[in-house]
Amino acid sequence: MEESISRDLVEVLRGEASTELNPYGYSPLSLAYLGDSVMDLLVKSYFVMHTNMQTYKYHKEVTNIVKAKYQAEFVDRMFDSFSEDEQDVFKRGRNVKSHSKAKNATTGEYRKATGLEAVYGYLYLKGDIARLHALTDDMIRGYLASKHS
């Protein structure tokens, strides 16, 4: 069983997910739960692979990108470029009732961030790694541009 689990994960990471999986069938909060980790891993991977800094500096940069406030700004900028399915998953994630509250964001920002994380979870389960990379690249580019302006 363990071999099968790790093989499934490798297939998803390579964009070779099973066509039997229906990522749209998962609850928005399940997608957001997974998407939060996927986004975090992709942003961390970018910084480790493209920079060489102390871990506390990695943490500072990554945290600035994956926080709800920045995710909400990213969605406001990019929503129109989302596919119809991505927009639908986003809206489902944004509109779901959650018992969690944001620490440093408004309720609206937190809900948008949850919607974006749901999109990340959806794309991950769908095996659309190219789209995940494109979104993450846009997110990081926007962050770096705003940092230097």
22 φ/ψ angles, rounded to the nearest 5 degrees: -115, 90
Strands (E) in 58-148, as ranges, are none
Instruction: Report CA Rg, the chain.
Output: 15
Catalytic residue among 8, 36, 85, 128: 36
Buried b (16+ CB within 10 A) or exposed e, 50-89: eeeeeeeebeebbeebbbbbbbbbbbeeeeeebeeebeeb
Q: What does the block give as tokens for 95? A: 């509109």
Give 129's Cβ-side CA count (13 Å radius). 12
Is 36 labeled as catalytic in the residue annotation?
yes
Q: Is 8 exposed, middle or buried (0-12, 13-18, 19+ CB in 10 A)?
A: middle
Catalytic residues: 36
